[in-house]
Amino acid sequence: MASDKSPAPQLKSASGRRLQNRDRLESDILLQAVRVFAESGYEGASIATIAERAGLSKQNLMYYFPSKQQLYQRVLDDVLDDWLARMDLLAHPDDEPGDVLRAYISAKLRFSREQPWASRVYALEVINGAPLYGGQIRDRVVPLLRKDIAVFEQWIAAGRIAPVNATHLMFTIWAMTQSYADFSAQMALVLDRKQLLRRDFDEAEQLITRMVLAVVAVPDLTGEKKPP
């Protein structure tokens, strides 16, 4: 995480504290930045707003992040890092397809619940056609999605799940789970609450899991009815 090129090992405590301070400031800035970018988009977000919320001056912020674009790309990098780390679940293609799918849906929904701003910033970029981040998506996200789709296809070839269009199955799982972050404002209006509750996510998880398992014809063992 932190760069390892500290040139003054003799003052370890002081420089360490300084480094810690800098890291803390940077993460404060990034925490506010992801929210502001999610609320207003790249152009709509202003450095001044981010700085104000993080409790420092605009010019001081620009000491840590020399340009708005660099800050934005760093925000997206962190979003991807977090998401990719959580989504390494389909790396076990030999497990039960039902278990893997359940875990995948659960992890993706959890990301929507815990990091809604991250999800939204990424969505905004994709909707706009990924003008600033298309390269990273091509290099980091697309290969992962393709790998997951290949796993689905192996399962189909081995007769472990019913034949479906694996690519679109991935797209729909992505769409359903993602929307609980991106469209939560509209969902909250329909449900007549200020924001989505844990319960809503649990109910969503149950339904999405049932839909996916039903279409690939894997017995649904989640919940209510248990074998006697």
Partner DNA sequence: GTCTATAATGGGATAGAC
Partner DNA sequence: GTCTATCCCATTATAGAC
The contact set with DNA (CB under 7 A) reads 18, 21-22, 25, 45-49, 56-60, 62-64, 66-69
What would the two tokens of residue 223 be? 């919940």
Distance of closest approach, residue 122 Cβ to DNA, in angstroms: 20
Would you tell me which residues interact with its own copies (CB under 8 A)? 38-44, 120, 123-124, 126-131, 134, 137-138, 141-142, 145-146, 149, 164-165, 167-172, 174-176, 178-180, 182-183, 185-187, 189-191, 200, 203-204, 206-208, 210-212, 214-215
Q: Choosing among DNA, its own copies, none, which partner's interface includes residue 134 (Cβ < 5 to 8 Å by kind)?
A: its own copies
CB nearer to its own copies: give 29 or 196: 196
Q: Choosing among DNA, its own copies, none, which partner's interface includes residue 107 (Cβ < 5 to 8 Å by kind)?
A: none
Judge whether 162 and 179 are in contact, CB under 8 Å. no
Pinpoint the alpha helices (H) of the chain: 12-44, 47-54, 58-64, 68-86, 97-114, 116-127, 134-136, 142-157, 166-182, 184-191, 198-215
Q: Choosing among its own copies, DNA, none, which partner's interface includes residue 14 (Cβ < 5 to 8 Å by kind)?
A: none
Distance of closest approach, residue 134 Cβ to its own copies, in angstroms: 8
Distance CA 37, CA 148 (A): 29
Q: Choosing among its own copies, DNA, none, which partner's interface includes residue 56 (Cβ < 5 to 8 Å by kind)?
A: DNA
Q: Choosing among DNA, its own copies, none, which partner's interface includes residue 48 (Cβ < 5 to 8 Å by kind)?
A: DNA
Distance CA 195, CA 198 (A): 10
CB nearer to its own copies: give 22 or 138: 138
| Closest-CA residue to 200 (of 220, 215, 183) | 183
Instruction: Write out the H or E segment, with its range, that includes residue 131.
Output: none
- Residue 130 falls in which region: left (phi positive, over 0), alpha (psi -120 to 50) or beta: left
Distance of closest approach, residue 212 Cβ to its own copies, in angstroms: 7
Q: Choosing among DNA, its own copies, none, which partner's interface includes residue 215 (Cβ < 5 to 8 Å by kind)?
A: its own copies
CB nearer to its own copies: give 26 or 82: 82
CA distances for 20 relative to 16, 23, 75, 162, angstroms: 6, 5, 19, 52
Judge whether 64 and 54 are in contact, CB under 8 Å. no
Judge whether 123 and 65 are in contact, CB under 8 Å. no
What would the two tokens of residue 187 be? 């969902």
CB nearer to its own copies: give 29 or 141: 141
